[in-house]
Every structure is written in C-alpha cells, then in structure tokens.
Structure 1
Amino acid sequence: MTLCQQFAHYALGQHAQSLSEAQRSALRRVLMDWLGCAIAGADAEVVVALKDSLEVEGPAADGFVLDSRRLGIRSAAMINAVAAHALELDDIYKEGLFHPGAPVIAAALAVAESRGASIDELLVAILVGYEISTRIATVINPGHYRFWHTTGTVGCIGAAAAAAMLLKCDEEQFAHALANATTFASGLQQAFRSAAMTKPLHAGHAADTGVWTALAARRGVTGALDILEGDAGFGAAMGGSPDWRLALADLGQVCNTASITFKRHACCGQTFSAVDAVLKLRPELLDALERIERIDVFTNQQSLAMTANAAPTDPLAARFSMAYVLASALHHGDVGMSAFEPERINDPAVRRLMPRVQVQVDAAIDASFPAKRSARIRIQLSDGRVLEHFQSHRKGDPEDPLSDEELEAKFLASAASNLPRERAVAMLERLRRLEDVACLDVLLETVRRG
C-alpha cells in the first residue's frame, strides 16, 4: 500500500475505537487552546479584510468564531484558521516545526458544524488530523522548514484527514483526499520574514484545501496515491527524500496530540527559550535596566534566521524580532498580546535597549534542534556584573508543560480580549465538561456575535 493508503487504513480504524482518557484530555486541551486563539484573533486586520472579501460569495450555512455572518464551509474553515494563527498564540508540534491546530481544527469544526456531528466525532477527527500530520511534519524536517512553512504545507494534509473523517469517507476516498491535499501543499518562508499579512493566510489555505479535497474525494475525485513517496512527489520535492518508515513506526501506538507545545508568549516560538531566560534574570535587573550594555543570545540557526529584524516598527515584524521581544520582556515583564500594541512597540526605553541585543548560533544548541529548543542568555552590565541563564526547554513544551490551570488562564486571557469575560468563563465551563455538552451549537453559542 502507498503511504496515503496506509494513513487511510489507520484513520478508518479510529471510527471503531473509543477515545482513551489520555486522548480525551489531550484533545480538550488542544481544542481549548485553539478556541482561545481564534477568538483573540477574530478581529485581526487580516481576518476582517478576508471576511469582507469572501462575503461576495453570498450567505450559506456555516458561521465563524465571534461572528454571526454565514458564508460557507470552505470560507468558515479558512477564516477561522487565519484567526487562530493571526496573533502567534497557537499550538506547536516542535519536532515537526508545525502549528497543527490552526488548519486541522478549523477544517474539522467547519465540517462538523455543517454536518451536525457530535462532540466525539469532532474530537476523533481532530485526533486523526493531528496524528497523521505531525508524523509527516517530523520526517520532512528540519530541512523542509528552510524554505517552506510547514503549517501551510503539511497543514493541508492534516486538514484533509480531519475533514474526511467527518465526511465519513471510505478508505479509498480518504486516501484520495490526502493525495490531492498534498499536491496543493504550499507556503513559503519568505512570506513571514517581512511585515506582510501572508503567514496566517497559509493556515487558512491549508484548512480550505483540506475541506475541498475531502469533499471532492467524497464525490469520487481521485488523486495520485503515491504523491508522498513517489520519485517526483512531496518528499522528493520538498522534504529531502525522508525515511517514510518513521512516519508509520508508532502510528496508533503513541499519541502525538499529547505532546503539543502550548505558547505562553504572543510571538514567534523561536524566541521563547530566550524570552523565558531573560524573564528568569529580570528580578535581578529591575534596578539596573539602564545599565545593561549588552545582551548576548546563543541559539539555533533557524532562530537566528527568523528573528533577525533588529528594529521592527509594526506588530507583524515585532513578533519575529528577537531584539524587540527580549527588550520588551525585560522592561515590561511579559510578551503577551499587549506587547504588540503601538505604545509598547514604540516605548523609548524598549527602543534604547534593542540595539544591545546580539544573537549568535551556539553549535551545541543548534545540533539539538528541533527536538530540543534551548537558549543561553548572557547580560553584561556597566558595573562589571555578568548575569547568565541557560534555558533548556521552552515553558509550554512537553518537557515543561503548561498545567491545566495555566492553559485555562491563557484561554481566559485570550478569549476575554475579544469577549465579555462572563461569556469567556461560560465557554471555559463547557470545555471543562466537554463530555456533557450536548452538541457543537451548545458549545459555540457563547462565542457567536449577533
């Protein structure tokens, strides 16, 4: 069997399986985090413009997070994925350099809502989307990430898997959905090394691609089933001819969905270890910030390449600037959503500190990437003192996870940024008791506007 067929065989087997308590807990966490991110990002400039541009399609039956307008299943998937990715708050599978939630859950939710699926059917679809896509992302990286945005590429495949589950595709149809989603995989790194709005659109394209390829497969549209491993296929063209056996080795045995990184900073994940390190040192520096002469950051090559903008002037660029996020963390004590308001970005004290941040590659740290995300910080003061801290993992990684309480606090902060707090609390209560929620409409009614 081809890889697409083997993934399809695994997926269809999940219909007959009951979710374990560990799986159910992991799925509740990723769904909670996705909803918080999508609610927070629902009014982002790129999301508002995209909604308006798609409204010309006319009304249909599927809605958006935080919106009563209804356009259609593909538009709902696309817009909710863009919203979830817009503020750089969404989850990560670190070994795959991949944000699975934005495209996978957006696609699953759109199809589930349109088909009247149960909560459990939604959760199983999300599980399958995560388990297949995280394995593909892992075997093609880190080489793939040099030029490609994994969320835009592999996100298409994960979204197709989730959508195909909810459409109740048979095994053959499921495999064809994956095959056609793969050939439309796209998203270039250059798009988010500037102030462009394109990066979250990659997640939107992936969710949309997953939905329409699954819908088409359900109607008999076929794809090249060896598109992943073929001589001119995805792996050869975009993944450095990976060892695909690794993608299948523990499929169905190890739950990757339980090993997700949840962000606690609203910026590029490549900065997190360094941000965590300076926050550890900050209590010793509160009376000495003006005496900082130099901040040396030792990190991996990918982090250096992606966060090199030393003087960003807008929120999009600031989220990918090591200099800005470290200076802001030192002065304000956090790098949350408010860190990317114009007042914070233009804070004179922060701007004065930014040129003192110097980033370089550490060979040992680089060699452990992407499985381990470490950083070392050395801060030199004008009085001769030198403060150092080595951060072995990011807070939020599986090795140092956010607790349920910390994840719930993140959800409330994210959701309450765009909802009355009582509605955010009501949503949280439903998520805590997800097994008792009668249907998706009941889960989502607290976040619908109108």
Structure 2
Amino acid sequence: MTTSHSPVDWIRHTDLATLDPALLTQAKRCLLDLVGVAAGATQTELADIARRFVTTQHGGDRPLLFAAGRSSPTGVALHGAWLIDALDAHDGQVLAKGHAGVALMPGLVALPEARHLSGRDFLGLLILGYEVATRAGIALHATSPDYHTSGAWNALGVAAVAARLLGLDDERLHHALGIAEFYGPRSQMMRCIDHPTMLKDGSGWGAMTGISAALLAQAGFSGAPALTMTSPEVGGVWADLGQRWYLHEQYFKAYPVCRWAQPAVEAILNLRETIDDPKNVSRIEIITFHEARRLHVVHPSSTEEAQYSLPWSVACALGRGTLDAQAITDLAAPELRALASRVRIQERVAFNACFPAERWAAARLHLSDGRIVESAPCEARGNPHNPLSDEELAAKYHALADPLLGEQTATLYDIIMTLEERPASDLLAQLGAP
C-alpha cells in the first residue's frame, strides 16, 4: 500500500479490506488489552463518578462500557476513556509519550453507526485511529514547548475514526480534525505527575472532543486547519502514512502503573531473589531518568497517587514480588509503607538522554548486614523488542476481567480473537453492563 501526502485523503480513502493480516492481529491484541483494563477499572472510585456524571449530564440512549445506564455518544466516549484511564495498565507509544487506544476504542463504540460495521472494518478503523493519533502526538511534541497530556492528540485520532464512520467528505473531515485539535485538552502532563488526581492523562476529554468534533463538522461547524497535520514542519511525521505502521510500535504494560516507573520495577524484581527477606533492606536506591524521578509520592492515599508513585511501585515489587491491581488499591499495608519510605531516587545523565525513545532504570539495595546488591540497567517489558507474549496478554486480560465478567470473560475473548470473521455487533453486545 502506498501513501498519499494528504492525511485527509489517506483517512478517507484507505481501503480497510486490504490491510495486512498482521495489522489485524495486532489490533486484536490492543483491543483485548483495552477491554481487560476497562473491566478491571470498574471498581475504582473514578468509574462510579464517571458513570453518574455522563448519565445525568450527557443524556442519550447509547449503552455505557461495562456500566449501567445510557448516555449520548459524547458521554459514552467520555465515560469509556475515563474508565480505561482509571487503571494505568493500557497500551502506549514511546515517541508520542502517551496513549492512543484509551480514547480510540471508546470513541469507536460510542456512535450508533458502529453496530453496522463488520468486525474486520471495526478493526480497520481502530488501526486507522492508532496511525493518526500516534502521529498527532509525535507532531505535537515536536512543535510545542510544553508536555501535553494524551487527550491533546488522541482527540484527532477519535475525530478521524468518527468522521470516517459518519461518511464525512474531505472538507468536513478536515474541519473535524481542526476542531479536535483546537478543542482538545492541552493540559499539563507534568502537573498531574507532580500532583496526581483523577484528571489522569486527559483522555476522557480527548475522546469526548473527538466525537464532538466529528458531529460538529457533520453539522457544518468549521474548524480547519489542523496544524499538527498540515504545517510544513511536521510534514515528515505524516509522509509515511500507509508505509510505517505505528500500531506495531505500541507497548503493552505488565503492571497497572505509569510506564516511567516500570523499568525500576523490573530492576527490583531482578534483585529480589538475591535477598532473604525484604525487611533486611535498609535503603533502596533507584537510578533512572528525570521524568521517572518526578513520580515522587511515597505514601499514596488514592489509587491515582499509587499509579503515579515510583516508591510505592518499587515497594510492592520488592515486598510482594509482583505489582497487580490490588497493589494500587490496598494502600495501608504497613510493610509496604515502610519499604516505600526507604526509596531514594537519583537521575542518570545517560538515562535522561535516552528518553523518550527509551526508558531505563537500575536499582541498588543496601542490606542490613552491610552488603549492597545492584542490578543491571533495565527497561520495562512489553516494548516491540521485548514484547509480552500472547499468553501473557491473555493472562493479564483474564486477571483484570474475570472478577467483573466471570464466564463472560472467555466468550468475549473468543469474540475479540475472531472479530475479523464476525459482525462488530457481536463485540458490542458484550461491552454493556455485565
């Protein structure tokens, strides 16, 4: 497949039926992961607030993702992306420095037109959205001096998918992208790192903005151009549409915490078998990059603080040998709080230089008998060069979804894994309230 130099033309005219089967396979992996994270997040406080908000403030008849009640397409998108973002275990991309799928999947299921899609076309639109959103993120980071949340750019991916689903012509598609860019939440990412709250990565607002943008453009609302797609200085970002597939460059998370903390978690897990008892560790030194050092909360009091806490992530890994969803909700364990208090974080110039394309950390444990054990530099698992296996992704999906869905988890898994052979309505029928 060759590319057009116009992103608008590529979005409108890419033949979804000719997409490489390897792309469909990767899209199903992303979809499975997103669905699992959404199911696992339903028990968070944010999930309940999100449901109540959209059912009272966004009236409509569309079903919500894994929740009772109905809402408008904008409300479904807002709720679904808020839900997935509530559990920081979803996929991402290093150069975009954030997450595309968290907004794309809820945006795609929000519109009633989705029920008429084939499963293959559903996956094709998801692929299209990943390509647009990821490039929009890379372009925004290249042209803005501030580090904006994912909602600032995944809104454009949602707008592209929604506009294609609604059948908008070139002019209205261009306006939809411009509206999404202009109204997208250009919120301060590092503020939420320094002060973790339910605002998270802005993706709820990004998904809602993308759907709003497509519907506004359909009604004749103008908003072009989208400068992150049309400015000469970002031309190179868009020149290889249809040739380089960023869908294959997404990472999957092994743990439900900020990606920046995960290299340190791997470093700690590599050392854990060298010590007899975590209680014998008197000091935990983490050497990492600047952005990870900003994950500074020692004793989190909310799941949001826990997900953005490197000391807590390290303490859980050392104390329990794993870092699962329970670790970011059970925050009172005295032995973990004690370990978190012993964490000291340093930066390494070489690690800073690698960010964002690479994220590294090393760990050094000081033991009560005077010994010091140190890890080699580590990366997080789940990148394209050190991927989570299909079996690991399936196990993660079941661990997150089984408590909510029970026997339905296996049915939904089978539907996702064979979606290209089914109507999309088979999937949509499984995504409502359990």
TM range (shorter): over 0.9
1:289 matched to 2:311? The reply is no
Q: In the alignment, residue 436 of structure 1 is paired with which amino acid?
A: E
Q: Please state how far the C-alpha of 1:47 moved relative to its aligned partner.
A: 2.2
What amino acid is the match of 2:375?
Answer: H
Distance 1:58 1:132, change over 3 A: closer
Does the 8 Å contact 2:54/2:79 carry over to 1? no
After TM superposition, give the deviation of residue 67 of structure 1 in Å. Answer: 2.6
**What is the alpha-carbon distance in structure 1 between the residues aligned to residue 241 and residue 277 of structure 2?**
52
Question: Is the CA contact (8 Å cut-off) linking 1:374 and 1:391 kept in structure 2?
Answer: yes
Residue in 2 that maps onto 1:310: 298
Counterpart in the other structure of 2:344: 358
For 2:57 and 2:344, locate their aligned partners in 1 and report how far apart those are by CA, in whole Å: 49
Cα–Cα, structure 1 residues 447 and 9, in superposed 2: closer, same or farther, change >3 Å? closer
CA 73–245 in structure 1, closer or farther in 2 if over 3 Å, else same: same
8 Å CA contact 2:17, 2:121 repeated in 1: no
> Secondary structure, in 3 states, of the residue corresponding to 1:172?
helix
Q: CA deviation at 1:173?
A: 1.5
| Alpha carbons of structure 1 residues 387 and 368: separation in structure 2 relative to 1, 3 Å | same
Map 1:9-408 → 2, pairs under 5 A? 9-15=9-15, 17-57=17-57, 60-111=60-111, 116-141=116-141, 146-149=146-149, 151-186=150-185, 187-189=187-189, 190-199=191-200, 202-225=202-225, 227-228=227-228, 243-285=233-275, 287-305=276-294, 307-342=295-330, 345-408=331-394
- Per the alignment, residue 437 of structure 1 pairs with 422
SS at match of 2:200: helix
Identical positions, percent: 28
Equivalent residue pairs, number = 429
What is the letter of the counterpart of residue 85 of structure 2? H
TM-score normalized by the length of structure 1: 0.89
- 1:255–1:407 Cα change, 3 Å: same
Q: For 1:339, give the aligned amino acid.
A: A
After TM superposition, give the deviation of residue 432 of structure 1 in Å. 1.7
Equivalent AA in structure 2 for residue 193 of structure 1: D
Q: CA deviation at 1:243?
A: 3.6
| The 10-residue stretch of structure 1 (208-217 or 16-25) with the greater mean CA deviation from structure 2 | 16-25
2:298 and 2:165 map into 1 onto residues whose CA distance is 45
**Partner Cα separation in structure 2 for residue 28 and residue 229 of structure 1:** 27
CA contact (8 A) 1:300 1:362 kept: yes
Q: CA–CA distance in 2 between the matches of 1:116 and 1:418?
A: 27
Deviation per CA, 1:88-144: give whole Å up to 9, x if none: 111111111111111111111212655532222222221121101111212333785
Classify the secondary structure of the residue corresponding to 1:328: helix
Report the Cα distance in structure 2 between the residues aligned to 1:5 and 1:108, rounded to whole angstroms.
Answer: 25
Question: 1:390-420, CA deviations, whole angstroms, 9 ceiling, x for partnerless residues?
Answer: 3442101112111111111111111113221
In structure 2, C-alpha distance between the alignment counterparts of 1:182 and 1:360, rounded to whole Å: 36
CA distance in 2, matches of 1:46, 1:349: 27
- Distance, in Å, in 2 between the alignment partners of 1:309 and 1:318 is 8
Structure 1: how far apart are the matches of 2:70 and 2:200?
24
* Aligned-residue offset at 1:447: 4.2
Q: What root-mean-square deviation, in Å, do the aligned CA atoms of Structure 1 and Structure 2 show?
A: 2.2
In structure 2, the gaps of 5 or more residues are none
Q: Using the alignment, how far apart are the partners of 2:253 and 2:335 within structure 1?
A: 26
Corresponding residue SS for 1:141: helix
Which amino acid is 2:371 matched to?
R
